[in-house]
Amino acid sequence: MIKPLLRQMVIAELAAQVPIPDEAGGQALAAFMQEQGIENEEQLNTFLRLNLLRRQELEQQLIQPLRLQRFVADRFLPKAEARFLQRKTQLDRVVYSLLRLEDAGLARELYLRINEGESDFAELAARYAEGPERTTRGVVGPVPLMQAHPVLAERLRTATPGVLMEPFRIEKWWLVVRLETYSPATLDEDTAQQMARELFEESVEEAVQLRINDLISLRFPEA
C-alpha cells in the first residue's frame, strides 16, 4: 500500500522543482472551472468544500501535469535518441498473416494450397486456425515486432514481405506465416516523447525503491 503513496510523493517533489509563470495556476483553474461547468466563486467554494480542498491545493494539482511535462522535456528529452537506439529493435512494427495448427500434416497441406494459389490465406485462417487469429482471418498487427514469440520475431525480421514461409514449429504449434509489412521505427516527435517518458518512469521507480529500502532498514535494522 505504501508504494503508490511514495510514488505520488516522488512525482510531486520532482514537479515542484520546475518553475512556471505565476499566472499558470489561475489559468489552469479557469480552464478547470469551464470544463466542470463551475460558473462563479460561490460554486467553486462549494466544490472545494465538498472535496476537502483549498484553492491553492487545487491549483497545484491542476498545474502538476504541466510541471511534469516540462521536467521530462528538460531532463530526459535530450537522452531520447540514445534510448531509441537502445530500444529500436523492440519498436519496429509488423503486420503478418498467421495460421497456427497442432497438426503438422494439415499445416503442410494448407501451406501448399496457399503457396500454389489454390486457396486464400485469409479464408483458410478463418476456417482452420486454432489461435485467436482465426477471428481476424489470420491478420496480426500492426504490432511491435518484439511482441511476437522470439522465434517468430526472428523469422519475421529476416523475411521478405509477401513471401510465404514454410511451416515451422513453436512449442506445440505448427505455424504458417507470411510477412505483410515491416515498418522500422523512426525517431519522430511522438517516439522521442515516449522514450523520454520511459526514462522518467524508470527514474521514479528507482527513487521509490530507494525509499522503500530506507524504510525497511529503519524498521528492520538487521536486514
> pLDDT for 109-162, tens place per residue?
999 999 999 999 999 999 999 999 999 999 999 999 888 999 999 999 999 999
- What local confidence, expressed as pLDDT, does residue 73 receive? 94
- What local confidence, expressed as pLDDT, does residue 19 receive? 87
The cell numbers describing 99, all together, are: 495460421
Separation between Cα atoms, residue 36 and residue 57, nearest integer Å: 17
The answer to whether 122 and 139 have CB atoms below 8 angstroms apart is: yes
Give the mean pLDDT of 191-204.
95
Domains of the chain: 1-74 (no CATH), 93-183 (3.10.50.40)
- Least Cα distance to 13 among 157, 207, 218 occurs for 207
Q: If DSSP codes are grouped into helix, strand and coil, which group holds residue 141?
A: strand
- What local confidence, expressed as pLDDT, does residue 175 receive? 97
Give the mean pLDDT of 189-210.
94
Separation between Cα atoms, residue 26 and residue 9, nearest integer Å: 23
The answer to whether 215 and 5 have CB atoms below 8 angstroms apart is: no
Q: How confident is the model at residue 3 (pLDDT cuts 50, 70, 90)?
A: confident
Most confident of 25-34, 100-109, 208-217: 100-109
Q: How far is CA 52 from CA 8, 20, 49, in A?
A: 18, 25, 5
- What local confidence, expressed as pLDDT, does residue 193 receive? 95
Neighbour tally for 8: CB within 10 Å:
11
- Least Cα distance to 164 among 92, 123, 113 occurs for 113
Sign of the torsion formed by the C-alpha atoms of 189, 195, 197 and 200? negative
Give the mean pLDDT of 164-181.
96
- What local confidence, expressed as pLDDT, does residue 220 receive? 65
Mean pLDDT value across the chain: 91
Give the mean pLDDT of 86-91.
86
In one-letter notation, the amino acid at residue 31 is A
- What local confidence, expressed as pLDDT, does residue 221 receive? 63
Separation between Cα atoms, residue 174 and residue 213, nearest integer Å: 47
- What local confidence, expressed as pLDDT, does residue 168 receive? 97
Separation between Cα atoms, residue 165 and residue 90, nearest integer Å: 22
The dihedral over CA atoms of 115, 117, 122, 127, expressed in degrees to the nearest 10, equals: -90
Query: Has residue 223 got a pLDDT over 60?
Result: no
Give the mean pLDDT of 66-91.
92
Neighbour tally for 119: CB within 10 Å:
15
The answer to whether 131 and 173 have CB atoms below 8 angstroms apart is: yes
- What's the predicted TM-score (pTM) here? 0.66
